[in-house]
Amino acid sequence: MNREDVKKKVIQTIHQCAPELEGVSMDENSIVNTDIGVDSMEFIYIISKLEGQFNMRIPEEEWENISTLGELVDAVMKYANNASVPSESSNDSSKS
């Protein structure tokens, strides 16, 4: 998956976790905790969904460093590097 594909999937996940943001334009610099209406709990939800979808784990210490959509995409790219990405319809979580 290239960066654009990952970005598309991250935006899709944000919309899935916060449906009220459908139609809100987002770019690389959009702040994904307050600016576009994602609060800290939704942010955690988005991260956990992405981790399930990309079968990877972003260390918690790094969460605080993720502010923008671009940084979130970078983190997914970094940690999903060697993981195979499931299809759109696949289940998002294998936890517990």
Partner 1 sequence: MAAYMFKNFHDLVDTWKGNNDPALEWREENDASRNSYEKKSITYDELFREVQDETKRCLRSNYSCELIKCAHKKEVVVRIFADVLAGNTIVLSDELSSVEKLRHEAVETSADALFSAGGTQSEELKNAVFASMPVRRSDYPAPSDGCEGDLIFFTSGTSAQGKAVVLSSSALCSAAWSGQSVLPCGPTDTLLSIIPLSHVFGFVCSLLWGLAYGACVALGGGRRHIYDDCKFFQPTILPIVPAVIFHLLKASALNDELKCVLIGAAAPDGQLIQDLRDRHIDVRLGYGLTETGSGVALSQTQGDPFVLEICPGNQVQISDNGEVKVKSLSLMRGYIKKMTHGLKINPHVDAQGWFYTGDLGTIDEQGFLHIVGRMSDVLVLPDGTKIPCSQYERILSEMLKSNEVAVIKQNGHGVLVVGLGVDIDQANQALRQFNRNRERSQQLYKVVEYGSKLPRSSTGKLQRWAICI
Minimum CB distance to partner 1, residue 3 (Å): 23
Q: Which is nearer to partner 1, 35 or 74 (CB)?
A: 35
Chain residues that interact with partner 1, rule: CB under 8 A: 17, 31, 33-35, 39-42, 44-45, 47-48, 51-52, 55, 57, 60, 63-64, 93-96
Tell the residue number behind the tokens 């994602």, with chain if given. 38
Please give the Cα distance from 91 to 39 (Å, whole number).
24
Minimum CB distance to partner 1, residue 42 (Å): 7
Chain-centre distance for alpha carbon 26: 13
Closest CA to 59 of 40, 42, 73, 78: 78
